[in-house]
Structure 1
Amino acid sequence: METNRITGSAKDFAGKLEGAVGDIAGDAKTEAAGRVREATGTAQNLYGQAKDAAREATDAAVNYAKDAYENSGDTFHDGSQAIAKSVRDNPLGSMLIAGGIGFALALLLTRPPRRPPQRGR
């Protein structure tokens, strides 16, 4: 728990008490000082709450990233096993697909660059 929350709550309470005492005694200066202290305490408490919320969100994001990183190896391993099983079940189809992909890549890589059309001729 953020110390600003504790300090802010204490100032808020003290400000309310001082404002009530000033109101009962009819002392406007004491009442005003109490209201100022109360507002300061409320602001400090809200600041502490915001810091706590940011810390919790950061911790949750870090934990999520760690879980994703730790489980990524399992996902890759499962995908590799699924591809290996598919190749074992249908070797000819796998060879044709691999050959088609290789042929398409060769066409893309060996194709001459396009030249813009000549103007004025």
Structure 2
Amino acid sequence: MVDTDRITGAAREIGGKAQSAVGDLVGDRRAQVEGRFREAQGRGEHLAGEARDALRDAADTAVDYAEDAYERGRHGARQGARTVTHAMEETPLLALLLAGAAGYGLALLVHGRR
């Protein structure tokens, strides 16, 4: 999406160049100065529009990367859950022993040694 400042800035810049050129031809100092001012103002507006467009593009790219990272993380979590479930089904005694050890470790952390 093109920012409107780019369009209006380019138009103002061209108008300023034309006014300045006419001022140069007829020797009108005021027209020359006003034309150069409008040209600089238009250039600044155009640059502001370009910067706004660049920021918008960067934000869109960042959102795309974040969505991709979220999807990859979600996929990895699902795959890990499947792997753990499969391992528990294959070796239920080992899974039970590991769960007991984890529970004992948590109990020690919560209640401490007395």
TM-score of the alignment, normalized to the shorter chain, above 0.5: yes
Task: Report the more deviating stretch, 58-67 or 7-16.
Answer: 58-67
Q: Tell me which residue corresponds to 2:59.
A: 58
Equivalents in 2 of 1:101, 1:41: separation in Å?
Answer: 68
Q: Tell me which residue corresponds to 1:105.
A: 106
Identity rate of aligned residues, in percent?
A: 42
> Matched residue pairs, number?
113
Q: Tell me which residue corresponds to 1:34.
A: 35
From the superposition, tell whether residues 104 and 80 of structure 1 become closer, same or farther in structure 2 (CA, over 3 Å): same
Q: Tell me which residue corresponds to 2:96.
A: 95
Structure having the higher helix fraction is: 2
Equivalents in 2 of 1:71, 1:97: separation in Å?
Answer: 28
Equivalents in 2 of 1:103, 1:71: separation in Å?
Answer: 33
Q: How does 1:15-34 map to 2 (within 5 A)?
A: 15-34=16-35
Task: Report the more deviating stretch, 42-51 or 58-67.
Answer: 58-67
From the superposition, tell whether residues 112 and 93 of structure 1 become closer, same or farther in structure 2 (CA, over 3 Å): closer
The superposition leaves residues 21-73 of structure 1 with CA deviations (integer Å, 9 ceiling, x where unpaired) of 21232221111111000011011111111221222222223333344445544
| Post-superposition offset of 1:10 | 0.7
| Post-superposition offset of 1:112 | 6.9
| Post-superposition offset of 1:96 | 2.8
Task: Report the more deviating stretch, 92-101 or 29-38.
Answer: 92-101
Supply the AA of the counterpart residue of 1:26: G
Q: Which has the larger radius of gyration?
A: 1
Equivalents in 1 of 2:31, 2:105: separation in Å?
Answer: 85
Equivalents in 2 of 1:68, 1:43: separation in Å?
Answer: 37
Equivalents in 2 of 1:6, 1:81: separation in Å?
Answer: 55
Supply the AA of the counterpart residue of 1:14: G
